[in-house]
A and B are shown apart, each in its own frame.
Chain A
Amino acid sequence: MKFRTSIIAAALSAVASIAAAEDFPAGSVDYVIPFGPGGESDITARFQQPFFEKLYGQQLVVSYKPGGGGAVGWSQLNSMAGDGSVIMGINLPHIVIKPQQGDVGFKTEDVTAVYMFHYTPDAIVVKADSDFKSLQDLIDHAKANPKQVIFSGSGKGTANHLAQVQFDALAGIETTYVAFKGTGAAVAALLGNQVKAEWGYTTVGAKQGDKVRMLAVAMEERHPAFPDVPTFRELGFDLVSGAYRGVAVPNSASEETRKQVSDAIAAINADPDFQKQMLDGGFALLDVGYGDSMNAFLTEKAEGYIGAAKAAGIIE
């Protein structure tokens, strides 16, 4: 079945490329995820897949190129075809932090970001039976017992880790951050009482339900799925952060193609069914399209990340 559709797609794309030089999508589009299957980058791409096909009648084929926390994929991005037949997932803070850590085969400015479509907001998660009923409880305990509040979190130099660094500075406390491989392992450590709390994501709250309690979320507004959980800003800490995900194209792509890909992702984001799916999963939607707004967004985020990473000693 897939074979047949790809034959048809190939035929169509051949016809299309003769007919019009710049037509998106001219055929099936390869969507390269620079991480392995099963992570949030994969899942959110899979969410987009059926909507893309519904809107454009073309296949969005997800493939994986994991390695080096995304670096392997991003370092090969600009050697791929720039005719709109290949797009790649991008992640913040990764594309900012990785190149700062040494030669990872790409620089932040090599990545042509055309759309940021959602983020997974950072959140402090504790077990339902934890003594920390509120964020203030945690802060008080941390002030009285420096380093004794041990957080699990996903990875080093990641959104979770940078949020921990920033929050420690904002609240004037010193806590301990233990990096785990992926959110699943960080949640397991929390549920198994290996740590006192987790720097996790709102998706953890969505998945774990009443087994856990979120003390605060790093969003501008409260998350629609968790109306009772305050934002850090409400509590007096200016922290809006998370793992931002978007789409990039190779730098050989024309202005027109960049705009078309940006518009396509925007159209998926505008679909109410897609929005519902994402919000139910605990994600937060975001619409930053190609152009000046993207440049401004990336510049602002990069400043915050690099400051936090320097404070954490992740980069020189």
Chain B
Amino acid sequence: MLDFWLNALSPLNLLLALLGVAAGTIIGSIPGLTATMAVAVLVPLTFTMAPDSALILMGAIYTGAIYGGAYAAILLNTPGTPSAIATTFDGYPMAKRGDGDLAVSIACLASVAGGLVGALALLIFAPPLAEAALAFGPVEYFWLAIFGLSLIAALSTGDFLKGVIGACFGLLIAMIGISETSAEVRFTFGSSTLLGGIETVSALIGLYCIPVLIDLVATPNKHLQEPEDTRGFRLPEAVMALARNKFNLIRSSVIGTMVGALPGAGGSIAGLVAYSEARRSNKGDEKFGEGNPGGIIATESANNATVGGGFIPTLVLGIPGTPPDAVILGALLVQGVRTGPSLFSEGADIVYTFIFGLLLATVLMLPVGLLIGRFAYRAIVQAPKAALVPAVAFMTVIGTFAIRNSVSDIVIMIVLGVIGWLASKRGFSASPIVLGLILGRIAEQGFVQSWTIGDAIGDLWGQFFGRPLSMVIIALTVLSFLYPFWPQIKKLVIKSSGEPVLDRDPAPRNAVLRDLASLVVFGGIALIAISQSASLNQEAAVFPRTIAIAMFALTALAVIKLFITRHVTEVAVEGSWLRMTAVPVMMLGAIALLPIFGFQSSAILMGLALILPAQHEAYSAKGWVILVTGVAAIIFCFTLLFKEVLGVPLP
């Protein structure tokens, strides 16, 4: 064992771990650049390395990228990677009130702790955990997805019905394109653009980030509360927060390890499940979703624990635990390393050197992550809006493009962003929609597979409800769904505070009409989905049809409720409509110019154009020059970086 330690600590491996974590953190912080992509870009570099060094570099990049996703989640309300979705729930409210620096430090500590738990589990319990993960069948995956959806009850601040309707909408969007379960073309309305479906990460960027941008330009207010003085890393406070949340931290790290070890589940589900459990067992006064550090701790420790957890099936069974693991397995195969069960038994030196390297990389994440986090925080807090908006808008565009090298994904991202903004103002928050989108495909696959198996053995009921593991997950799901209603069940009326504004007097007529209009739109979407399902074969239609019927029924229920109570949940729109409209219009305009000017020039044009709606302060001539050259330079450098270093074929 000592030999492996020494091997992992060789100067080269140490340097690779350090570089990997730093590069991964930066890549992960850019929305759209996922851990999978970060690892895939590196593969050609690893051809010339020793297998253990290659593994350490890839493991370090991977773990860094998963942590880096927290920055954008906290500072821009946009998960940098899908794993950081639940980080936005409390991270962004913390940043809003001026605690962004603390939130970033807490995220770093939690990520390191979770990463260590996952890596230690990989070191000590890998073979038995790999066997245990195999007990998870299609039915369990189905119920796990439903369990993830139970978070909706908590996330739909103010209006549970609207949350569920939003989730159904997300589930239906996830069905667009060629179905993975039945290979049928669904809901594309004859458009070949939609064949590939809605890319989850670009939808995430659209639904979370575009509304932030639109609200940013609307008013001259600061993006985040700025602290009076620089307070360093606020480490003591962060450590205190972790100490207060020690059970949450341990539980979430274990959840992350377990979910990571399930082939195909990955960081986003681990984060959501851990968040859901942390919220359910929260005994403190501070509510989740309004800036409770416990939410960040749960999500960030869980998603970094999936790194070590995901390597368990990867190294023990040769079955990738998460998408980045699939890439890493491929790289090893190209190197001539025999992956599969024999790797763990025969290739012990590579495996153990790698595990120690992963532990090392996780520890290195502490200084590296704190430093980069500090820089990211300062940059976002101090940047004038007129520079922040163009830079972030550009990141969303290039990040979205980079996922599948697809221009139409950018258009879909912007359109979904506008839909998300409109919906959120009408009281349909983005998170339930995103949850539906992420969990929809997993739920459907598990459902159709279980149905097929149950049908073959002639015991559908037993297949869905009779398996011990499923029963546990079903019980947790029921608890999770009911939890937010305990107060009501106990006849305690809790006054919700903050956004969205809960107006419990009967709403004025116009507000009722606005609400009705939004419900009619969603009801219409449900009807379209039902009619479209009629032309599909049974296997492809059963899931979306069920969801669409439920969505229609819920919409009808919401309309009835609206007329009886005349209560309307909505968020007031503030600021200049002209400026707000300009953001998506300018972005789409730049995409239209792409074929003429190429990516780089169009992106620079877009950035410069976006200065106008984002600029609320008067600048001197010199200030203008600095601003314009600064924005152009940022975009110019980043496109070069993407093209040359990351090998993204920009048009």
Contacts and interface: CB of A to CB of B under 8 A. Distances in A.
Contacts of B405: 63-65
Nearest to A80: B649
B127 interface: no
Contacts of B184: 101-102
Contact of A148 (B317, B334, B457): B457
Contact of A208 (B199, B318, B445): B318
A44 to B, nearest CB: 9
B197 A67 contact: yes
B196 A148 contact: no
B537 A313 contact: yes
A71 B445 contact: no
Contacts of A97: 183
A104 B195 contact: yes
Given A65-B405, A68-B178, A46 B453 contact: no
A314 B183 contact: yes
B225 interface: no
Interface stretch (B131-139, B478-486, B564-572): B131-139
A105 B203 CA distance: 22
Contact of B330 (A37, A63, A178, A185): A37
B185 interface: yes
B510 interface: no
Given A46-B331, A49-B44, A207-B339, A103 B326 contact: no
A304 interface: no
A43 B334 contact: yes
A192 B137 contact: yes
B192 A105 contact: yes
B334 A66 contact: no
Given A67-B196, A69-B183, A188-B263, A180 B320 contact: no
Interface stretch (A111-119, A133-141, A149-157, A264-272): A149-157
Given A155-B183, A188-B317, A313-B537, A209 B341 contact: yes
B319 A38 contact: no
Given A67-B177, A101-B185, A147 B456 contact: yes
A238 interface: no
Nearest to B452: A178
A3 B645 contact: yes
Contacts of B325: 38
B196 A71 contact: yes
B443 to A, nearest CB: 13
Among B40, B133, B182, B456, find the residue whose CB has the most chain A CB atoms closer than 10 A: B456
A293 interface: no
Contacts of A158: 183
B323 A181 contact: no
B327 A184 contact: no
B351 interface: no
Nearest to A281: B333
Given A63-B405, A72-B404, A189 B456 contact: no
B183 A157 contact: yes
A208 B406 CA distance: 36
B114 interface: no
B232 interface: no
A103 B449 contact: no
Among B40, B43, B195, find the residue whose CB has the most chain A CB atoms closer than 10 A: B195
B509 to A, nearest CB: 46
B644 interface: yes
Given A65-B405, A155-B180, 7 more contacts: A2-B644, A63-B648, A71-B196, A103-B185, A156-B180, A176-B453, A188-B263
Interface of A: 2-3, 6, 30, 36-39, 42-43, 46-47, 49-50, 61-69, 71-72, 75, 97-98, 101-105, 147-148, 150, 155-158, 176-181, 184-185, 187-189, 191-195, 206-211, 277, 280-281, 313-314
Interface of B: 36-37, 39-40, 43-44, 47, 133-138, 177-185, 190, 192, 195-197, 199, 263-264, 313, 317-320, 323, 325-327, 329-331, 333-334, 336, 338-342, 404-406, 445, 448-449, 452-453, 455-457, 537, 644-645, 647-649
Closest 4 CB pairs of A and B: A67-B196, A38-B326, A192-B134, A105-B192
18 contacts: A36-B323, A37-B40, A37-B330, A38-B327, A50-B47, A63-B405, A68-B177, A98-B178, A105-B192, A105-B195, A179-B449, A180-B449, A189-B137, A191-B319, A192-B135, A195-B453, A208-B341, A277-B336
